[in-house]
Structure 1
């Protein structure tokens, strides 16, 4: 099922058991922020990106390396070198994603980011080293920026896809089929939002972080909140602006977000995560957040 009807989606999704696949990834990969700078094309539809003077490439590199070290405590984490021709290529989850045995390559909206999808080293790692087949969406015309645009409940095979300039309706359908999902709810993001994963996180298939003001359709918010109740944290504008919604569960018991996201998180929402069985791990990423993304955006999961 792929639908824009929140009620129809909810009725279907409630019957989906958490037997679709692993709730969290078996490994992950990052791309180093070499050449990290303001990408003007990307800034055109990313209101979270800072001005050029706020970018500190050295600090971003140090924080990124610390993120990899921290993640390596939880799961194998590979890091590919950055490409100075792709100054915001440190957010690989938009261009690359996986399902068991397959690498998905997305269609990026901006030419400055389309370079990432052509990287022979990342493609070769999956095809030649891991033996994954490649499902390549990068050559078709519809933008579909993978797990930036679609947030996935891997345990139940459910997708939540927000439409924006980074993902159109045809792109949403292409991703629904490429990920092989049982059901995908498609909805419009609020004006000014560029990616779903800034305003929604589904955590190990059993909890959700939701920024209601990031959705154009209150019905979509209500359906998602109902599906994951009682383990739902409703984030306010300050929490969204601090990137608290750009979070990920890398294991069954830990939620990761940036230090800014953790600091912005309201006590009630921190308690909601604890009640869902999660501890919070926050990592300093303020230099990287100048690029308009945060911790979740840095992580491409390997299933």
Structure 2
């Protein structure tokens, strides 16, 4: 098929690679403008732009799709379908209506659960047993369109946002290619029941509240890995926690119950958390033994409780 692809991060780039490999004609790629990143804050292309350039595909990086010039460029392609994955710009109705088969979206949840910007993190935070990918016919509402294809994945007890992202990106790429090969597909309207919204992750959410249960905080740490990292406060300083396991234990909330070379056990509102990888502000992620060499912690020390 002759198509336009719109996407920005790694999640989307895997789908673009799969679509090209399947032999479809990608006539134009839309992606967010290059952004400053890294220590030098040099402009960096998106993961999708890198894939497009590697395959010699024209890249278009408008700030908005609402102006006539951008819409004219898209219309001139004469695409049969537009595939959208984590693009980051709202598609006006005029753009949604341009391709013969409309615009289809690769969404990383089992709709109607977790419509919105952060479905992977929200599924982990909520303790969902499974998640998945929906290939959805786009309409004006936020992830409200009918579903063309869906696939589910179990969420493992050790899954982080990073590991779940990679599995969902692979599933999304495969389902997207499958959908393109079968268009037009019957569209299944989303049910009115079970709708939840995956609001954008705010950095302030990453702060650990030790009054919560160890099970909740385990999910919290996994959901904020790799971004922005779960943040504990100790003596007013930020310490990021990257790996932990719920264990039995009790004591004053936030207090250190045990310390050895492999773990620091910290009391929670219910149970305790055995932390095995930490990072001080400006430092590297370290296993407990290396972390303790520069930041001694002892039984009875207490992490701050957020106000």
TM-score range normalised by the length of the shorter chain: under 0.3
Flag the structure with higher helix content.
1
Flag the structure with higher strand content.
2
TM value normalised by structure 1? 0.26
The structure having more radius of gyration, on CA atoms, is 2
TM value normalised by structure 2? 0.26
